[in-house]
Amino acid sequence: MSVLGSINRQIRDRVAAFSADDPEPSDDDRLIAELRAALSDDRVRFDGAARSLHSKDASIFKGGVAGPTCFPLTSTEVQAIMRISFRHGRAVVPRGAGTGLAGGAIPLGAPVVIALTKMNRVLEVDMDNRVAWVEPGVVNLDLTRHLTPMGFHFAPDPSSQQVCTIGGNVANNSGGPHCLAYGVTNAHVQAMEVVLPDGQITMLGGLDPEPTGLDLRGVFVGSEGTLGITTRVAVKITRNRPAVRTLLLSFETVSDAANTVSGIIAAGIVPAALEVMDHKITVAVENYVNAGYPRDAGAVLLAEVDGMEDGIAIDAERIAQIGTDNGATNVRTAANEAERALLWKGRKTAFGAIAQIAPDYYLHDTVVPRSELASVLEKIYEIADRHDLIVMNVFHAGDGNLHPLLLFDGRDEGVIERVHAAGREIVEVSLDAGGVLSGEHGVGVEKQAYMGRLFSDDDLDHQDRLRKAFDPTCRANPGKVIPMGHSCADIQALKRVPTGVWG
């Protein structure tokens, strides 16, 4: 069995071990009673529907079991939940919109789930410091919509930005098409209020442009809920650029598109976005939204430049020439904002478009050097063919962040095993090419088994020490990111403890 293919079985085995020795009902009764006293009856759920809904995320990994699910409204309520859970020996798992694709929000061992979706207010827009203070449940795109009348936006723009939340973006250090020029989430978080696993509330970072001391803010961003829970965030807001040009370049092959991307960066041009879609996903998108994509292209490159009009006109012309030099069969510039928005609608809804082809998909996430894009993509197509799977490639080409989509019907016998086997090989060819495990989806449980290939034992030991500095008993989202064999506290966090047991 493949390493990835064994993950679901490992999760099921852990859950089975917990279920084999169920707690006395009074343990849950006392826990829930205290939680409801701290919040309210209607904001602590333990019914079957709530537990089922919050036992999974958008990944293909199954086997999670949720304990009581809490819906706090304030930092003080999150603090109360953490302290009550700690007294009862229960782990906690923070959760946003559940759009994660690496299994990071899957609750292992019936922990207390802290759903932050009701903490969804934009608290303040501080124009002097160019930051917005927001709660973790604010939807990414809603923040930009709030800022648009002021002439600003929030730069990180994951494809799921219509539903994903700022708290989830912080947890996974999310990216998006426009992060090529503007940077991923970490570059846009100035400060954050967090509740640590013992219930202490603290502020990491600050509005000082030159802070002193350790960058604990930077440590916390991307920690996938293993260091504590974000309850308030000061995000940098970005002024809207005066002019934007969006180009659509068509190619006969994905390799030609990938080589064009390398040529653009080599020429010293840093566009706002460089996105590639192969033939199959381009056709699916066009059938879905009628955005004007060419159905006969082997691949398309969506390139966007922004800034002052004279400067972007020069960059757009240079990009068009580099594309032509690399075999572009057609170069088109969006004529107006409506056409530009439609092209981006096609790109942002690409994952939804594949429902017309297959009911299920596994969306992968690795990063490879730009110079290796063409080679790795060829290997991904070969891997999919060998495992008798449909693969579509749509990716953030500018920074080498691949997102191969493996399409399948989960009802077909043996297909899940083939999907996992193909996924394992995609990870391996990416690492062999000098790549890394994730660009924005996180490690979660999906890539946990591969941490040892990317990091040495000393590296993993130091990561575990850092985690224990925030959470000595590893009760915050246990069983994620750091391989189990490298964290005794992580294993302990999933076992029965004297003051309570997993449900």
CATH assignment of the domain containing 307: 3.30.70.2190
* Over residues 102-108, mean pLDDT: 94
- In this structure, the answer to whether residues 213 and 128 fall within a common structural domain is yes
2-14 burial code (b ≥16 CB/10 A, e <16): bbbbebbebbeeb
- Residue 501 to residue 498: CA distance in whole angstroms: 8
Domain boundary among 214, 239, 264: 239
Identify the CA nearest to 277 among candidates 251, 311, 259. 251
Residue 302 is assigned to a structural domain of this protein: yes
pLDDT score of 413 more than 60: yes
The pTM score is 0.90
- Residue 379 to residue 368: CA distance in whole angstroms: 13
Identify the CA nearest to 469 among candidates 188, 159, 119, 200. 200
Find the CATH number of the domain harbouring 227: 3.30.465.10
Residue 16 is assigned to a structural domain of this protein: no
The whole-number pLDDT of residue 431 equals: 97
- In this structure, the answer to whether residues 268 and 340 fall within a common structural domain is yes
pLDDT score of 358 more than 80: yes
The percentage of the chain sitting over the pLDDT mark of 90, rounded to a whole number, equals 85
Confidence of residue 484 (pLDDT cuts 50, 70, 90): confident
- In this structure, the answer to whether residues 109 and 127 fall within a common structural domain is no
End-to-end CA distance of the chain: 29
Confidence of residue 487 (pLDDT cuts 50, 70, 90): low
Helices 309-325, 254-266: axis angle to 10 degrees equals 130
Q: Which run of H or E residues covers position 315?
A: helix 309-325
Residue 92 is assigned to a structural domain of this protein: yes
What is the token pair recorded at 429? 């060819």
- In this structure, the answer to whether residues 105 and 126 fall within a common structural domain is no
Rg (CA), the chain: 23
- In this structure, the answer to whether residues 409 and 318 fall within a common structural domain is no
pLDDT tens figures, 37-66: 999 999 999 999 999 999 999 998 888 999
- In this structure, the answer to whether residues 311 and 281 fall within a common structural domain is yes
Domain boundary among 432, 451, 470: 432
Angle ∠(228,232,235) on CA atoms, nearest 5:
110
- In this structure, the answer to whether residues 339 and 262 fall within a common structural domain is yes
- Residue 399 to residue 182: CA distance in whole angstroms: 12
Residue 182 is assigned to a structural domain of this protein: yes
- In this structure, the answer to whether residues 134 and 234 fall within a common structural domain is yes
Residue 289 is assigned to a structural domain of this protein: yes
Ramachandran class of 26: left when φ > 0, alpha when ψ lies in -120 to 50, beta otherwise: alpha
Residue 453 is assigned to a structural domain of this protein: no
Find the CATH number of the domain harbouring 469: 3.30.43.10
Higher pLDDT, 349 or 26: 349
Give the DSSP letter of residue 65.
Answer: -
DSSP for 251-272, written as a single string: ESSHHHHHHHHHHHHHTT---S
The whole-number pLDDT of residue 61 equals: 86
Strands 69-70 and 112-115: parallel
- In this structure, the answer to whether residues 343 and 365 fall within a common structural domain is no
The whole-number pLDDT of residue 28 equals: 86
What is the token pair recorded at 124? 């303040």
Provide the mean pLDDT of the chain.
Answer: 90
- In this structure, the answer to whether residues 345 and 397 fall within a common structural domain is no
- Residue 251 to residue 254: CA distance in whole angstroms: 7
* Over residues 59-82, mean pLDDT: 95
- Residue 13 to residue 481: CA distance in whole angstroms: 18
* Over residues 275-284, mean pLDDT: 96
SS3 category, 323: helix
Counting beta carbons within 10 angstroms of the beta carbon of residue 149, is it exposed (0 to 12), middle (13 to 18) or buried (19 or more)?
exposed
- Residue 354 to residue 346: CA distance in whole angstroms: 12
CA distances from 312 to 60, 154, 222, 324 (A): 41, 21, 33, 18
The whole-number pLDDT of residue 16 equals: 45
Domain boundary among 198, 215, 239: 239
- In this structure, the answer to whether residues 344 and 365 fall within a common structural domain is no
Provide the number of structural domains found in the chain: 4
* Over residues 341-355, mean pLDDT: 92
Residue 501 is assigned to a structural domain of this protein: no
pLDDT tens figures, 287-326: 999 999 999 999 999 999 999 999 999 999 999 999 999 9
- Residue 479 to residue 413: CA distance in whole angstroms: 29
* Over residues 120-144, mean pLDDT: 98
Name 296's Cβ contacts closer than 8 Å, sequence gap at least 6.
none
pLDDT tens figures, 148-173: 999 999 999 999 999 999 999 999 99
Higher pLDDT, 227 or 473: 227
The whole-number pLDDT of residue 220 equals: 97
The whole-number pLDDT of residue 7 equals: 44
* Over residues 200-224, mean pLDDT: 93
Q: How many CA atoms lie within 13 A of 335 on its CB side?
A: 1
- In this structure, the answer to whether residues 235 and 247 fall within a common structural domain is no
SS3 labels along 7-62 = HHHHHHHHHHHHHCCCCCHHHHHHHHHHHHHHCCHHHEECCHHHHHHCCCCCCCCC
Residue 443 is assigned to a structural domain of this protein: no
The whole-number pLDDT of residue 14 equals: 44
Find the CATH number of the domain harbouring 391: 3.30.70.2740
- Give the residue numbers spanning the domain of 282: 243-352
The percentage of the chain sitting over the pLDDT mark of 70, rounded to a whole number, equals 91
Query: In 41-122, where does DSSP find H-type helix?
Result: 48-53, 75-87
pLDDT tens figures, 207-216: 987 878 899 9
- Residue 439 to residue 402: CA distance in whole angstroms: 8
What is the token pair recorded at 383? 């891997």
Confidence of residue 3 (pLDDT cuts 50, 70, 90): very low
Confidence of residue 463 (pLDDT cuts 50, 70, 90): very high
